[in-house]
């Protein structure tokens, strides 16, 4: 998806989940879709899940593709990467080799997708519930790799637990923000069912005025209640400018007085 993609292009998204064997990719999906957790391990070849979400201003159709954790099917893996609109890279915080695995997954993405910097990516460290007794990958190491070593990406890093249902929904909410379906930090960017109140407010505000209120004049502040969108007079600005210059000269003179030759 490039920067010129319109909102209608987001009506159907294919999310591909990559990571090593046994890190909990399938468990994350099942916890999110059915709120269930199965401790027994079963290797995955390829599972596809389809869901629709009503966001109010649009219906989002999501294909979630759960891939194999090993490299037995390279052609299938290349096809998954080529057709993805977003990636979830999963490692286990208790396994250093699993972190190395998602680094290799990212290199595959970078090699095959020329638009990789525009693709939403979430890097999730699963098995957070085991960190009290065993941790091999600090989140600081993951953040350093993502934000310092890699080129600028549309990415988010977090840790989660499919077993204890920690940050599972946050993983999938993050794709709404990273995909720019909802603006960053809006109240309902965390929602998947009803229309964002921030989205509605922005739409109505756009019809009323062409420019937003200054930061200190926003409603809810002590000055903003009666001065919303009120321009400052030019004479007041000039007086403030002269006063600032005068203060700078006085400060300079004071500094000169402190210099002893």
Per-residue pLDDT of the chain (261 residues; tens, 9 = 90+): 444 444 444 578 899 999 999 999 999 999 999 999 988 777 776 788 998 888 777 788 899 999 886 766 788 889 999 999 999 999 999 999 999 999 999 999 999 999 999 999 999 999 999 998 899 999 999 999 999 989 789 999 999 999 999 999 999 999 988 987 655 444 343 344 433 333 333 333 344 434 444 444 444 444 444 434 444 444 444 555 565 556 556 555 544 444 444
Q: Is residue 43 part of a domain?
A: yes
Query: Residue for token digits 């794709």?
Result: 175
Query: What confidence score (pLDDT) does residue 26 get?
Result: 92
Task: Give pLDDT, residue 244.
Answer: 54
8 Å CB contact between 45 and 39: no
pTM of the model: 0.66
Domain enclosing residue 182, as ranges: 8-203
Pairing of strands 59-67, 86-92: unpaired
- Give CA 121 to chain center in angstroms: 8
Residue burial 144-175, b: 16+ Cβ < 10 Å; e: rest:
ebbeeebeebbbbbbbbbbbeebbbbebbbbb
Q: 65 in a domain, yes or no?
A: yes
**What's the confidence (pLDDT) of residue 230?**
40
Residue with tokens 């002269």: 242
Beta 46-54 vs 59-67: how paired, if at all?
Answer: antiparallel
Residue 236 domain-assigned? Answer: no
Angle between helices 168-178 and 25-34 (to 10 degrees): 90
Backbone angles phi, psi at 83, to 5 degrees: -105, 5
Domain count, the chain: 1
Strand-pair category, 121-126 with 46-54: unpaired
In a domain, 82, yes or no: yes
For residue 220, tell me if it sits in a domain. no
92, containing H or E segment: strand 86-92
Is residue 119 within 8 Å of residue 81, measured between CB atoms? Answer: no
Under 8 Å between Cβ of 141 and 106: no
Q: Confirm whether 254 is domain-assigned.
A: no
* Residue 217 included in any domain: no
Which residues lie across from 15 on neighbouring strands?
64, 86
Structure tokens at 112: 């095959």
Alpha-carbon dihedral angle through residues 26, 32, 38, 41, given to the nearest 10 degrees: 10
In-domain check, residue 135: yes
CATH number reported for the structural domain that contains residue 61 in this entry: 3.40.50.300
| Euclidean distance between CA atoms 38 and 85, whole angstroms | 28
What is residue 221's three-state secondary structure?
A: coil
How many whole angstroms separate alpha carbon 119 and alpha carbon 16? 11
């Amino acid at each position: 998806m490039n920067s010129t993609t319109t909102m209608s292009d987001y009506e159907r998204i294919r999310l591909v989940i990559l990571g090593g064997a046994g890190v909990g990719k399938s468990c994350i999906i099942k916890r999110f879709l059915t709120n269930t957790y199965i401790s027994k391990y079963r290797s995955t070849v390829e599972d596809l899940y389809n869901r629709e979400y009503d966001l109010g201003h649009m219906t989002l159709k999501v294909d979630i593709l759960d891939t194999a954790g090993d490299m037995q099917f390279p052609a299938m893996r290349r096809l998954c990467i080529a057709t993805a609109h977003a990636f979830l890279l999963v490692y286990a915080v208790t396994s250093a080799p699993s972190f190395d695995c998602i680094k290799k997954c990212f290199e595959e993405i970078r090699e095959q997708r020329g638009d990789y910097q525009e693709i939403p990516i979430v890097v999730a460290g699963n098995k957070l519930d085991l960190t009290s007794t065993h941790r091999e990958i600090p989140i600081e190491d993951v953040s350093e790799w993502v934000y310092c070593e890699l080129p600028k990406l549309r990415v988010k890093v977090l840790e989660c637990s499919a077993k204890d249902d920690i940050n599972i929904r946050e993983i999938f909410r993050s794709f709404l923000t990273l995909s720019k379906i909802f603006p960053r930090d809006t109240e309902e960017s965390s929602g998947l069912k009803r229309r964002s109140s921030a989205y509605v407010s922005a739409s109505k505000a756009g019809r009323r005025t062409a420019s937003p209120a200054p930061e200190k004049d926003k409603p809810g502040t002590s000055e903003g209640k009666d001065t919303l969108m009120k321009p400052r007079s030019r004479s007041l600005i000039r007086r403030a400018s002269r006063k600032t210059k005068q203060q700078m000269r006085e400060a300079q003179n004071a500094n000169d007085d402190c210099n002893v030759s």
